[in-house]
Amino acid sequence: MAERKNFNDFNIGDQFKETRVIPYEEVERFADVVGDDNPIHLDKEFAEKSSFKGRIVHGAFLIGFVSKILGVDFPGPGSIYLSQEIKFLRPVYVDSSVQIILEIIDMDTDKQRFTIDTSILNDKNKTCVKGKALIWYPD
């Protein structure tokens, strides 16, 4: 876990990047936990016959990476995730890797809130998920 910083230790333009591999076993565990057993995520034969031509990762699974980074790494411990705007632009395939990039794009010093651009890129460096998170970061 990252060391706790003060709100004023951050600046607009600060970024955090993390790369993750998404193996089928993790997608399967996620599906079990939340109960989303849509075959587009789990059934290789079904997914290969779909317009995606392969199994894709749950959107909520991907946003979970953003949540983890916000609460653990950047801004880190003490962060309160207030809202998230999300656009799913293209699929992320099971057994591929993603890069999660977060960047502070606005700071409200009176309310101690950050607006953070959230992006998830696939292994071809194409944006798959794009959004903005609002974070309260009390001292």
Output the pLDDT for position 3. Answer: 76
Q: Give the domain ranges of the chain.
A: 14-136
Residues 6 or more apart whose Cβ sits within 8 Å of residue 5: 75, 76
pTM check: above 0.95: no
Give tens-digit pLDDT for 113-133: 999 999 999 999 999 999 999
Domain 14-136 CATH class label: alpha beta
Helix 24-34 vs helix 59-68: angle between axes, to the nearest 10 degrees? 100
pLDDT digits (tens, 9 = 90+) for 6-23: 999 999 999 999 999 999
DSSP-derived secondary structure letter, 135:
E
Contacts of 131 (CB under 8 A, 6+ apart): 66, 84, 85, 86, 87, 117, 118, 119
Per-residue model confidence (pLDDT) at position 4: 87
DSSP code per residue over 68-133: HIIIIISS-TT-EEEEEEEEE-S--BTTEEEEEEEEEEEEETTTTEEEEEEEEE-TTS-EEEEEEE
| Residue 16 burial (10 A CB sphere; 0-12, 13-18, 19+) | middle
